[in-house]
Structure 1
Amino acid sequence: MAPKSRFTRLDAFTKTVDEARIRTTSGGIVTIVSLLVVLFLSWGEWSSYRRIVVHPELVVDKGRGERMDIHLNITFPNMPCELLTLDVMDVSGEQQHGVAHGITKLRLQPPSRGGGVIESNSLAQLHEKAEHLNPDYCGGCYGATAPANAEKPGCCNTCDEVREAYAQASWAFGRGEGVEQCEREHYSERLDQQREEGCRIEGLLQVNKVVGNFHLAPGRSFSNGNMHVHDLKNYWDLPNGMKAHDFTHVIHSLRFGPQLPPEVIARMGRRTAWTNHHLNPLDGIHQETSDPNFNYMYFVKIVPTSYLPLGWEQKSASASDGSVETHQYSVTSHKRSLMGGDDAKEGHAERLHSKGGIPGVFFSYDISPMKVINREERAKTFLGFLSGLCAIVGGTLTVAAAIDRGLFEGATRLKKLRSKDM
């Protein structure tokens, strides 16, 4: 016999010789069942290790001097594009009157004719170039100062430039009767031709990431002191027999910042409800009215949100790491007639509305100081997977050994009892 090692006394796994081992049918069945259980639980542990979960974190948003993209697509079936104006303003004092860059207007047929698209015009290309005029021609601005963006400095060579000059002077313009440039371009005839049309406005706004609002209202806008004013003359003065305009509208989509990439949404699938938070609550909203004196207001609370995919921190700074900086938002809405009154028809006679204002659709947004970070992570680490695998194997074999021992002992005692009876 080989000499004993000093570690022999420390052996916690004592052995038995083959002659002392007994193999039983019940032991074979327990072994097969335990192996199947180990395989099944090991597959579940592997699936759990491969599963990706999204862990939300709430932090203080420390971004400064950032800009925010607003993507909008809104249809006004009873408002012609010629009258519709988009303005933006915020608490920093920045104002964007008649936003043109990045915005497209689609002229729509009247609802009675199906509301199909007539033509698409980029707002940045609507201004007349007046290239057919004599190079020495300098149109008058009819008492107003020529706009800074005039094609020819100090002159108003197009109807749009005259209208812009009037807006800067805080003067109402009307249909342009008696204005040479507008009569030459048939502005009033073009306006009357579009009276029964609708308009879809879509595109991208870039605004400061501060509290502010943007709105769609009739007529060209201008500032009069501390007041924001719209020239509503053409909105109210209708040709005889013409139906009044109104602000019935459909919000096809409105979001702040980029949408989650399709591959991200597809990968998340139905495994988590997190993507439901990115369903924009105003998408598909339809508001209908026949009152031209009507005002819609949407109060939007915006929460900055980051999406960090799995392994984003391991990618180089030069390559796209797949992260998305976007915004979630919640919204409450309010609507009222500019003529004032109460909501007695809706069963709330105690609810009174103030009188006055501008007809249109207004969006007032507020930015949360907190930021949500949604981080993709594996459900467990590789070490956690190995620990779970060892626990499954060890635990299953231990329980199987106990069951086998119990079956063996039970069978042995039954045999002894039967032998005594015989």
Structure 2
Amino acid sequence: MGRFGSLRNFNAFPHAEDHLLQKTFSGAIVSIVGFVIMATLFVHELQYYLTTYTVHQMSVDLKRGETLPIHINMTFPALPCEIVSVDAIDMSGKHEVDLDTNIWKLRLNREGHIIGTEYLSDLVEKEHSHKHDHHDEHHDEHAEKKHEHLFNEDAEKLIKKVKDAMENGEGCRVYGVLDVQRVAGNFHISVHGLNIFVAQQIFEGSSHVNVSHMIDDLSFGPKYPGIHNPLDGTSRILRDTSGTFKYYIKVVPTEYRYLSKEVLPTNQFSVNEYFVPMKPNDKSWPAVYFLYDLSPITVTIKEERRSFLHFLTRLCAVLGGTFAMTGTCSFLLNIPLLISTCLLKCKLILLYDFLGSFFCFCLDWVYVRFRA
């Protein structure tokens, strides 16, 4: 016992006896506040440890022969669904006519409420070009070649139907998925599907075509946590003017790797926007173009979790720091009490000395008087 008792000399945290400890009201308040702060910091650090963070890596894109899904959800408040067409042009030079397309149109009234639905698979144009010709001129020539015939009864009915819809303020929502080749190209929404003569009868000139639009969703693949599609929520409204909108998009192949090792292949993109107003002599028709190109670099986003040792280190740091600060605050709050206690002791000592001196003086005075 003696040998083990000598170990007490190495104790760096000696404790005073209970009767020597003084508990104060201010110390209790500081202790409670410190406990609340430490509990809050503990919960915060635990949440920080349990949440994941992402690490970004870049590498060369090696994907070949895959398709690129394009999700669209757009509203055209000034164009009836009967005249809206979706055209996809591929710049690879391959004439593929089996492009899977699932596009729908929703008829909207003046207030934007749905009044009808139409499947658009047969209305989506699938075209491929060997050269980067001017898209407006290309579609004018295509429309003229495709519709070189005189008006018939169907055309007259279509003209009347479209004019009635425009007078009623009908709009159109176009949504669905386009599966295109992973090469540069574009898709656009316009009235290019109309016979050029029918379009002239309806609009009385291309300058009266209003391609105002709202983009509710435009993405190039499934969404992953934290993705930001810059065109979502975009609204472009034309008043007393007309023209063509062009969105130049750079698509970046992306892989999102979850903590569970599940891999989600998708794409993110950046965009630049241009508006080309119509000129009096323009022969092209207004449209909304999305011209996309793919980046040769792929981005890998990995979810990771912090180590338990990192969690313990941060926890000890914040809890230890809080404990030290509460001790300092308690000491500072006790300084006035210590000062008042010291002053009281000094006063008592002075009073004791004064009373002792006065008592001695009285005794001396009595002694002198008694001898006299």
TM-score bracket relative to the smaller structure: 0.5 to 0.7
Distance 1:16 1:118 in 2: 82
Answer whether contact 2:87 2:189 (CA < 8 A) is retained. yes
Partner of 1:43: 40
Distance 2:269 2:123 in 1: 34
Partner of 1:203: 176
Distance 1:115 1:397 in 2: 61
Which secondary structure state, in structure 2, belongs to the residue aligned with residue 93 of structure 1? coil
Aligned 1:370-409 pairs, distance under 5 A: 371=299, 373=301, 375=303, 381-388=310-317, 390-392=319-321, 394-396=323-325, 398-399=327-328, 402-403=331-332
Distance 1:90 1:23 in 2: 85
Partner of 2:22: 24
Aligned-residue offset at 1:167 = 6.5
Partner of 1:217: 190
* Counterpart among 300, 308, 320 of residue 249 in structure 2: 300
User: What are the Cα deviations for residues 203-237 of structure 1, in whole angstroms up to 9, with x where unaligned?
Assistant: 111233443211123334xxxxxxxxx9634322x
Distance 2:102 2:340 in 1: 85
Answer whether contact 1:253 1:284 (CA < 8 A) is retained. yes
Answer whether contact 2:203 2:209 (CA < 8 A) is retained. no
Identify the structure with the greater helix proportion: 2
Which secondary structure state, in structure 1, belongs to the residue aligned with residue 2 of structure 2? coil
2:235 pairs with 1:285: yes
2:311 pairs with 1:418: no
Answer whether contact 2:206 2:284 (CA < 8 A) is retained. no
The code of the aligned residue for 2:57 comes to V
| 5+ long unaligned stretches in structure 1 | 128-165, 178-182, 221-229, 265-274, 341-354
The code of the aligned residue for 1:75 comes to T
Partner of 2:199: 235
* Counterpart among 278, 286, 294 of residue 337 in structure 1: 278
TM-score norm. by structure 1 comes to: 0.59
Distance 1:324 1:100 in 2: 19
- Segment drifting more, 385-394 vs 371-380: 371-380
Distance 1:98 1:307 in 2: 30
Aligned residues, how many?
Answer: 324
Which secondary structure state, in structure 1, belongs to the residue aligned with residue 231 of structure 2? coil
Distance 1:39 1:404 in 2: 19
Distance 2:17 2:75 in 1: 86
| 5+ long unaligned stretches in structure 2 | 125-140, 166-170, 352-372
Aligned 1:32-111 pairs, distance under 5 A: 32-51=29-48, 55=53, 57-60=55-58, 62-63=60-61, 64-65=63-64, 66-93=66-93, 101-107=101-107
Which secondary structure state, in structure 1, belongs to the residue aligned with residue 348 of structure 2? helix
The code of the aligned residue for 2:21 comes to R
User: What are the Cα deviations for residues 302-339 of structure 1, in whole angstroms up to 9, with x where unaligned?
Assistant: 4556666xxx42x375xxx8x68452544423222144
Aligned-residue offset at 1:285 = 0.9
Distance 2:291 2:209 in 1: 21
Task: Note closer, same or farther for the CA distance 1:193–1:299 as it changes in structure 2 (3 Å cut).
Answer: same
Task: Note closer, same or farther for the CA distance 1:390–1:100 as it changes in structure 2 (3 Å cut).
Answer: closer
Aligned-residue offset at 1:102 = 0.4
Q: Percent identity?
A: 19
Distance 1:40 1:240 in 2: 70
Distance 1:283 1:302 in 2: 19
2:219 pairs with 1:256: yes
Answer whether contact 2:85 2:123 (CA < 8 A) is retained. no
Aligned-residue offset at 1:122 = 0.9
* Counterpart among 147, 167, 178 of residue 173 in structure 1: 147
User: What are the Cα deviations for residues 76-119 of structure 1, in whole angstroms up to 9, with x where unaligned?
Assistant: 3454544433222344335778987201133456x5xx676553
TM-score norm. by structure 2 comes to: 0.66
